[in-house]
Structures are given as structure tokens and as C-alpha cells.
Homo-oligomer: A and B are copies of this chain.
Amino acid sequence: MQTLRVALGERAYPIHIGSRLIGEPGLILPHLPHKRVAIVTNEVVAPLYLERLREALRGAGVEVLDIVLADGEEQKNWATLNSVFDALLAARCDRGTTLLALGGGVVGDLTGFAAATYQRGVPYIQVPTTLLAQVDSSVGGKTAINHPMGKNMIGAFYQPRAVVSDMDTLGTLPERELRAGLAEVIKHGLIRDAAFFDWLEANLQRLLAKDPEALAHAVLRSCQIKSGIVAGDEREEGERMLLNFGHTFGHAIETGLGYGAWLHGEAVAAGMLFAADLSVSAGTLPKAEADRIGALLARAGLPSGAGGLTRDRMLELMSMDKKARERRIRFILLDRIGAARVSSAVPAAAVGAALACLA
């Protein structure tokens, strides 16, 4: 097991990465104000890992409530959030109850937001079971639900007490979700670490074959890059925006197609290609580097394009993105692989050019 520490002062927390961690109550117990937890998970993950986690905790004398949600991005809404509140209230959970998010990004984001707002805030711990959640959504304290008019529009910055990433859970992860998680892994190389991008090019087959050592390295390096950025800018007022590389386009695709049509990582992959093309159009990234990015994403089996959305629809959807500032859209551009920056001076013509492949 390897442990990283996210340096956020009094909100600092550890990320544990390794095998057989779900059965280790010792990683969770030190963070519980009372020996009472509510595990929030979904109907896909519950049959695989709920009993192992629950029994490990019960064996350590912890009182455990289960809350099992339906699966899917379309669950990341107020009605499902409220069903969590209902269950917590029915069980009379108080402010000393800790929520455990056992699942992927949807479970993690929703459970984190439930923790942020139940009785004005209770502790929570992330136990991510997908690659995407392990490398991205479980780290950094962004919690949210979706609104019909936009993804992640309602939420909070609220840090977990710990993250427990058990590599064994990736063994049951569907291949499509593995590939989607790789999109965020590749993003971390693109924005901050050219050597890691090189490593990903060289080791992609090992990752797709679920080589445990390769996966653990990809998770560790992703968490290092992400947590380093988050530690310097918790509330996304500056550098943290770099983590949104590809996301302005990606969120537009997700909103336009309806949540759940594409996986988040798939939309981000397509969005990163648009963002790379935009960087080329804006004159910051050499065309050859954009081609290299496209090649790696294609080898990872990730989609390009916008699923049939027109250029006009994409532009409309992007103007609603919450990263809009004074009605101008900020973009994250690449100067080269491994170096990104925020730009609010992108000419409209360049955005149009990046979307030129669309109808």
C-alpha cells in the first residue's frame, strides 16, 4: 500500500492506494468521530463489495447502515440525494455519523454532497471502485448533483476525511469504464507531466490488460498530480482550472446528449481532442502534438466527435458552462504536452475552427 497526503491544512487527508484495502477497517476507524457509518453505494457495486466492507467494519464494532441506490449518471439528482437524506433521518443519524461512498464517480459526488449538507455537514470517506473515481472524482473535494440545465451545477467544495482506493475493485470494472477512466489519467499527463504521458504511451496495453502494477502507478501518479494542484487552489480560483482541460467541451457533450449516453470519461476524451485542436487553432500547440494526443486517445478506444450534436448546439451548451466568466468562456489550452494554461482570450473564430468537424 502507498499513502499520499493531500496538503490542505486542517482539512488534510490521506489517499491509500493498494490491494485488499476494503477489508482493512484500520484505514477507516481513525477517521470516525463515532463508531457509526452509513455506506452509500449502488445496486451494481453492492453485490460485489458491500458485504466485505460492512463486515470488516462490524467486526471492528462499528454500527453500519446501508443505502443502496440505483445505478447511473441519471441518479445524480435531487430526488436520489433526498432519498439518502430520508434514509439517514429515518435511522436518526446525527452529526457524528460518517458517510462512506462505495462506488464510482456518481456515488462519490452525490454522497460527498449529501455529507456536505446533511445537518450542515457530516464527515465522509471515499472508497472509489472505478478507475475514474480513483484518479479523479474521489480526490479534491468537489461534490455535486446535476441540474436539468447543467452538470454539477449544484454542489459544494467539501473534503473527505480519507480516500481508500482498492486496486482489486478494478478487476470487476467493465472495459468501457476502464477506458473512460484512462481519459482522466491521460489528462493528468497532458496538463502537468510529459514524462507521465510518455509512460502512458509505452504502457497503454498493460493498463488495458489490467496489469495491477501498471494500474497502481497510473492511480498514484494521477493522485499526486491532482492533489498537488488542489492543495494550491482548493476552490478553483486559479491553477485548479487546469484540471478542467477538455471539460468545457466534454460537459457540453454530456448535457447535450443527456446524462448517461456517454460516460464522463468518454465525453472528456472527445473534449480533450477539441481542446487540443483549439490549442492548435489558437496557435499555442504544434499540430504534431495534437496528433500524438489523438493517437493515444484512439488507442485507448475513446471516442471523438460530439455524438451528433451540431456546432451551434455545442456553442450554445458551452455558454451555460459554470466556468463562464462575465459571459466569456474560459478555456484550458496546451502549450505543449505536459503544460497547460487558462485562457480567457480565445477568439470566437478559433472555437468555431475547433468544432469545424461538426455539422
Interfacial residues, chain A to chain B (CB-CB below 8 A): 34, 36, 78, 82, 85-86, 89-90, 92, 94-96, 113, 116-121, 142-144, 147, 149-150, 152-157, 235-236, 319-320, 322-327
Contacts and interface: CB of A to CB of B under 8 A. Distances in A.
A322 B121 CA distance: 11
Contacts of A323: 94
Given A78-B78, A82-B147, A89-B153, 6 more contacts: A78-B82, A89-B320, A92-B319, A113-B117, A119-B154, A119-B155
The 5 closest A-B pairs by CB, nearest first: A119-B322, A89-B149, A120-B155, A94-B324, A117-B154
Contacts of A82: 78, 147
| Copies of this chain, whole number | 2
Nearest to A147: B85
Contact of A156 (B94, B156, B235): B156
A89 B119 CA distance: 26
Contacts of A157: 120-121
A122 B331 CA distance: 21
A241 to B, nearest CB: 11
Contacts of A319: 92
Contact of A94 (B86, B95, B149, B325): B325
Contacts of A96: 325-326
A94 B147 contact: no
Contacts of A154: 85, 117-119
A327 B326 CA distance: 48
A255 to B, nearest CB: 11
A11 to B, nearest CB: 12
A353 to B, nearest CB: 24
18 contacts: A34-B325, A78-B78, A82-B147, A85-B147, A85-B153, A86-B149, A89-B149, A90-B149, A92-B320, A94-B327, A96-B325, A113-B117, A117-B154, A120-B142, A120-B143, A120-B152, A120-B236, A121-B235
